[in-house]
Amino acid sequence: MAASEHEPPTTYDHAATPRASAFLWDAIVAGVLLVLLLLTHGLGLFGSGRGAAQESPALVRQGERILVPDGSPLRQRLTVAPAGTQPVSGRVTAPGIVESDPARTVPVLPPGAGRVRTLAVALGDRVQRGQTLAIIDSPDLAQAFADNDKAASSARLAAANLTRAQAQFKIGATAQRDLDQSRTDNDQAVAEYARTRARLRAMGAAEEAPTAARLLTVRAPMPGSVIALAIAPGAVINDITQPVMSIADLSTVWVTAQVAEKDLAALAPGQDAAVDVAAYPGKTLHGKVLFVSDVLDADSRRNRTRIAFANPDYTLRPNMFATVTLYGPASARVVLPSSALLMNNDRTTVFVATAPWTFERRPVEPLLEESSQVTILSGVKPGEQVVVRGGILLND
């Protein structure tokens, strides 16, 4: 009992015990977190590796071609169908107008300037070749007559001088040089006289016309009708490059059809045509296409197609309206659903199957129309397999 009374009492370090417990607890938590992290990332890596090995790409690009492999979900969303066709009759209807044949239309130019003294025809008159159209008091004609008179006088004088020189040369009264000069003067005078007479003929004047009758007569260059008139009695003509009237031979006329751009494929020279003129209801004219223009009209975007008709009784008159029906061979055009068309860089394209589940993009030329079915003018052939639904999934 005494010894126990002298031993020091037992004591505990309360500060050291909590520090050891905290360290131990942190170590346990860190270990648990490390295990969880390893397990989570390890399983994820293994799992993703297995998924990558099992999952296939939705599509594979092989240059210009696109392959949809087995197992791709796109196979369930793409609809492929053959390109259908629609019969198209060769008949084309277009508005038309009656026109004079340009090869039978002549603008009448005045041979010289001057004042119109007499106008012998009116607009719409029918004339014959050589018929007087107008008479002009022309200073140009007066000058031409004056030049011709001088040339004639010079030619007579030169001929007389040559005759005299030849006679003198024979008797030795003149030199060879003087004879040669006389011959040259005569040749020049003859040439000038020929020129002035040709000038008078070109102006339609007679060389032997008396002075009082020296007026410029404008004559019809061909038979036909006066379809344009630009002068009147008393008018002064200053510009001889401007026609004073136009004459057209209307025994043959053209009916010009304005054919829409979409119908160009049905046009060909020589095909049959029927023309109905509004002025003669119930009367149909039959002819053949003479000419198909190589260019479109810039304003109307239409093609000028012409049919020639004989017009002996002049019933067809220029500027009459007509309805033209052209008969070409029947054909077939490719037709696709509008859902098959895709826009790509301002081009209209479709996807065409070149092999099972292998597609290529192809530009097409559709015919603009409001319909669920679109006519394809070029780019796809009948029967080709085309993606008609879901093609947007293959689009860039």
**Which of 27-31, 292-296, 335-339, 369-373 comes out lowest in average pLDDT?**
27-31
Domain spans of the chain, in order of start: 65-88+332-393, 92-103+247-330, 139-214
**Which of 18-32, 196-210, 264-278, 319-333 comes out lowest in average pLDDT?**
18-32
* pLDDT of amino acid 263: 84
Contact at 8 Å (CB) between 254 and 98?
yes
* pLDDT of amino acid 53: 41
Structure tokens at 6: 């002298």
Threshold 0.75, pTM exceeds? no
Number of H-type helices and E-type strands within the chain: 4, 25
Contact at 8 Å (CB) between 288 and 272?
yes
- The band of 158, judged by pLDDT with boundaries at 50, 70 and 90, is very high
Contact at 8 Å (CB) between 104 and 248?
yes
Contact at 8 Å (CB) between 224 and 248?
yes
Residue 36 has pLDDT above 70, yes or no: no
* pLDDT of amino acid 41: 44
- Tell me what the mean pLDDT of segment 98-119 comes to: 93
**DSSP code, position 14:** T
* pLDDT of amino acid 250: 94
- Tell me what the mean pLDDT of segment 141-157 comes to: 92
Q: Above pLDDT 90, what percent of the chain?
A: 56
Residue 396 has pLDDT above 80, yes or no: no
Q: Above pLDDT 70, what percent of the chain?
A: 84
* pLDDT of amino acid 208: 75
| Three-class DSSP labels, 272-296 | EEEEEECCCCCCEEEEEEEEEEEEE
- Tell me what the mean pLDDT of segment 124-141 comes to: 92
Query: CA 334, CA 368: separation in Å to the nearest integer?
Result: 14
* pLDDT of amino acid 44: 42
For 139-214, CATH number out of 1.25.40.10, 2.40.160.40, 1.10.287.470, 3.90.1150.180 equals: 1.10.287.470
**DSSP code, position 83:** P
- How far, rounded to the nearest angstrom, does the alpha carbon of residue 169 sit from its chain's CA centroid? 75
**Total Cβ atoms within 10 A of residue 275:** 21
* pLDDT of amino acid 375: 87
- Tell me what the mean pLDDT of segment 364-372 comes to: 81
Query: CA 135, CA 118: separation in Å to the nearest integer?
Result: 5
Query: CA 20, CA 24: separation in Å to the nearest integer?
Result: 6
Instruction: Give pLDDT tens digits for 221-254.
Output: 999 999 999 999 999 999 989 999 999 999 999 9
Residue 329 has pLDDT above 50, yes or no: yes
Q: Are strands 252-260 and 272-277 parallel, antiparallel or unpaired?
A: unpaired
Query: CA 64, CA 47: separation in Å to the nearest integer?
Result: 35
DSSP SS3 for 368? coil
Structure tokens at 51: 């998924």
**Which of 6-15, 50-59, 246-255 comes out lowest in average pLDDT?**
6-15
Query: Judging by beta carbons within 10 Å of its beta carbon (0-12, 13-18, 19+), is residue 48 exposed, middle or buried?
Result: exposed
Structure tokens at 238: 């200053």
Higher-scoring residue by pLDDT: 51, 124 = 124
Domain made up of 65-88+332-393: CATH architecture: Beta Barrel (2.40)
Residues 6+ apart with CB under 8 A from 381: 83, 334
- The band of 117, judged by pLDDT with boundaries at 50, 70 and 90, is very high
Contact at 8 Å (CB) between 362 and 336?
no
Kindly give the interhelix angle for 176-202 and 139-170, rounded to the nearest 10 degrees. 160
* pLDDT of amino acid 51: 44
Contact at 8 Å (CB) between 252 and 316?
no
* pLDDT of amino acid 26: 52
**Total Cβ atoms within 10 A of residue 44:** 10
Query: CA 389, CA 49: separation in Å to the nearest integer?
Result: 35
* pLDDT of amino acid 5: 42
- The band of 25, judged by pLDDT with boundaries at 50, 70 and 90, is low
- Where do runs of H (alpha helix) occur along the chain? 2-6, 16-54, 139-170, 176-202
- The band of 8, judged by pLDDT with boundaries at 50, 70 and 90, is very low
What's the whole-number average pLDDT of the chain?
84
Query: CA 258, CA 92: separation in Å to the nearest integer?
Result: 11
- Tell me what the mean pLDDT of segment 361-383 comes to: 87
Cα 227 to Cα 106, 116, 259, 283, 309, distances in angstroms: 10, 19, 27, 25, 19
- The band of 377, judged by pLDDT with boundaries at 50, 70 and 90, is confident
* pLDDT of amino acid 220: 94
First to last CA, the chain: 101
- The band of 184, judged by pLDDT with boundaries at 50, 70 and 90, is very high
Residue 272 has pLDDT above 50, yes or no: yes
Residue 37 has pLDDT above 60, yes or no: no
Contact at 8 Å (CB) between 284 and 276?
yes
Query: CA 54, CA 72: separation in Å to the nearest integer?
Result: 12
**Which of 144-158, 340-354, 360-374 comes out lowest in average pLDDT?**
360-374
Could you please state the CATH topology (level 3) that the domain comprising 92-103+247-330 is classified under. Answer: Elongation Factor Tu (Ef-tu); domain 3 (2.40.30)
Query: What is the number of residues in the chain?
Result: 396
